């Protein structure tokens, strides 16, 4: 039997287009609130005249409120937006894409958010929100959560709140830091996650990549050994997936290793491992922290990565990822992965 949406698509396509447009406006206000009409128009690519007309209608329906600082959602608007999420996923075909991608990748689950992170900061924010929602469903009792660095994990941190869990949480960096970008280092991200959820965190002040001699020395230090034990007893891991060349440059990779990465056509990086399109490991950085093999014993592994430019990297890494992995990505990456598989 056809759903009501399928029938409406055939008989009232204009009605669905209007519904989708107004849903997008409500969703954007929810992310940016309080937000002025001009900023809203710029983010959506609409004219200010269209935004004025639509927001006036939404105000009449008591879905949004107007304040001196800008527009916000009313309680009715928040409830309607939450109810519309599932409908819009069916309307846009995201629910079918999720099932197809889960089957293609052979992992536990796939969650796709609207948009393309390469083109819209809102899509990256939505990745963070979807990750927070998944974490809330998975956390059961006390949990140690190991977290890697990166801008996507920083976006996740901003979306976490005190309602994440009723029990005690501890956030720990999965590895040492990368370069000098303190904002996106795992220590900083864990600190923000702990503050936002009113929970605890541990710091891990060690370099991410080291020589074998330094590695052997570091892991004997009591403080380092304690944090490594916490990391390996984590019930959940949150991590990103990087583009191989971008990550190699960020690490100031020696020229000899960079040549190896390029020669072996690496496209993805995760946990210090570099992968080619076939999912083969072509280079490994000596790191202090969570190793790829450690993931097998961790019940909940959440990989978060989006943007069409990351499609190859995501698919490459997931060929080696543990089957309990949950991928949270966006339409930009998902469509390219599915398109590549259909050719």
Instruction: Point out the domain boundary residue: 91, 121, 136.
Output: 91
Per-residue pLDDT, 15: 79
Domain match, 19 and 84 both: yes
Q: Which of 114-118, 209-213, 253-257, 300-304 has the highest mean pLDDT?
A: 300-304
Residues 192, 307, single domain; the answer is yes
Looking at the structure, tell me whether residues 184 and 53 fall in a common domain.
Answer: no
Q: Are residue 63 and residue 135 in the same domain, yes or no? A: no
User: Are 74 and 108 in the same domain?
Assistant: no
Q: What is the CATH number of the domain that holds 269?
A: 3.40.50.1360
Q: What 3-state class would DSSP assign to 129?
A: helix
Query: At residue 326, does pLDDT exceed 80?
Result: yes
Q: Centre a 10 Å sphere on the Cβ of residue 97 and count the other Cβ atoms it contains.
A: 19
Between 93-107, 137-151, 210-224, the lowest mean confidence (pLDDT) is in 210-224
Higher-pLDDT residue of 243 and 121 is 243
The mean of the pLDDT values for the chain is 89
| CA–CA distances in Å: residue 285 to residues 106, 145, 244, 315 | 27, 23, 12, 21
* Model confidence at 205: pLDDT above 90: no
Q: Is 198 helix (H, G, I), strand (E, B) or coil?
A: coil
For the segment 231-245, what is each residue's pLDDT rounded down to a tens digit? 989 999 999 999 999
d(CA 201, CA 54): 44
Cα separation, 52 vs 71, whole angstroms:
11
Return d(Cα 221, Cα 331) in angstroms, integer.
Answer: 44
**Percentage of the chain modeled with pLDDT above 70:** 92
For the entire predicted model, the pTM comes to: 0.88
Residue-wise pLDDT tens digits, 171-193: 999 987 655 567 788 999 999 99
Same domain, yes or no: 86 and 156: no
| Domain end call among 68, 91, 114 | 91
- The Cβ-side half-sphere exposure at 234, using a 13 Å CA radius, reads 30
Question: What integer pLDDT is reported at residue 1 of this predicted model?
Answer: 41
Say how far apart CA 100 and CA 116 lie, in whole Å: 19
The answer to whether residues 35 and 114 belong to one domain is no
Residues 104 and 77 in one domain: no
Banded model confidence at residue 286, pLDDT cuts 50, 70, 90: confident
Poorest-confidence range of 4-8, 101-105, 135-139, 171-175? 4-8
Tell me the three state secondary structure of residue 266.
strand
Instruction: Please give the biggest Cα pair distance in the chain.
Output: 70
Give the domain CATH number at 64. 1.10.10.10
Q: Of 31, 63, 91, which closes a domain?
A: 91
Query: 314, 117 in Cβ contact below 8 A?
Result: no
Q: Hey, is 321 helix, strand or coil?
A: coil
Neighbours of 39 (CB within 10 A): 15
Taking 60 as the threshold, does the pLDDT of residue 342 lie above it?
no
What separation in angstroms does the CA of 95 have from each of 3, 20, 90, 307?
14, 16, 6, 18
State how many domains the chain has. Answer: 2
Same structural domain, 84 and 211:
no
> Where residue 338 falls among pLDDT bands split at 50, 70, 90?
very high
76 and 205 part of one domain: no
Q: Given this model, what pLDDT does residue 38 score?
A: 94
Residue 336, domain extent? 93-342
* Band of residue 304 on the pLDDT scale cut at 50, 70, 90: very high
């Amino acid at each position: 039997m056809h759903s009501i949406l399928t029938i409406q698509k055939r008989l009232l396509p204009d009605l669905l287009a209007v519904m989708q447009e107004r849903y997008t406006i409500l969703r954007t206000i929810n992310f940016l609130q309080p937000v002025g009409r001009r900023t809203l128009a710029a983010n959506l690519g609409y004219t200010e005249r269209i935004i004025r007309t639509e927001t006036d209608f939404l105000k009449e329906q008591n879905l949004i409120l107007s304040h001196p600082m800008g527009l916000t959602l009313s309680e009715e608007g928040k409830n309607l937006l939450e109810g519309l999420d599932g409908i819009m996923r069916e309307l846009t075909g995201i629910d079918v894409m999720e099932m197809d991608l889960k089957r293609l990748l052979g992992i536990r689950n796939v969650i796709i958010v609207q948009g393309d992170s390469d083109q819209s900061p809102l899509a990256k924010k939505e990745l963070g929100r979807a990750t927070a929602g998944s974490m809330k469903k998975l956390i059961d009792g006390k949990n140690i959560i190991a977290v890697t660095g990166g801008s996507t994990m920083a976006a996740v941190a901003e979306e976490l709140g005190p309602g994440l869990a009723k029990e005690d949480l501890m956030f720990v960096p999965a590895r040492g830091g990368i370069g000098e970008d303190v904002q996106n280092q795992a220590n900083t991200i864990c600190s923000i996650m702990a503050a936002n959820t009113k929970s605890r965190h541990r710091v891990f002040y060690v370099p991410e990549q080291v020589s074998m001699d330094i590695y052997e020395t570091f892991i004997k230090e009591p403080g380092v050994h304690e944090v490594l034990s916490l990391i390996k007893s984590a019930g959940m891991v949150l991590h990103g997936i990087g583009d191989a060349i971008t990550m190699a440059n960020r690490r100031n990779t020696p020229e000899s290793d960079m040549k190896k990465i390029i020669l072996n056509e690496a496209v993805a990086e995760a946990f210090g491992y570099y992968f080619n399109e076939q999912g083969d490991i072509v280079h490994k950085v000596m790191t202090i922290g969570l190793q790829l093999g450690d993931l097998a014993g961790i019940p909940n592994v959440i990989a978060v990565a989006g943007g069409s430019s990351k499609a190859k990297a995501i698919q490459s890494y997931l060929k080696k990822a543990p089957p309990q992995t949950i991928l949270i990505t966006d339409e930009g990456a998902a469509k390219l992965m599915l398109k590549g598989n259909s050719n």
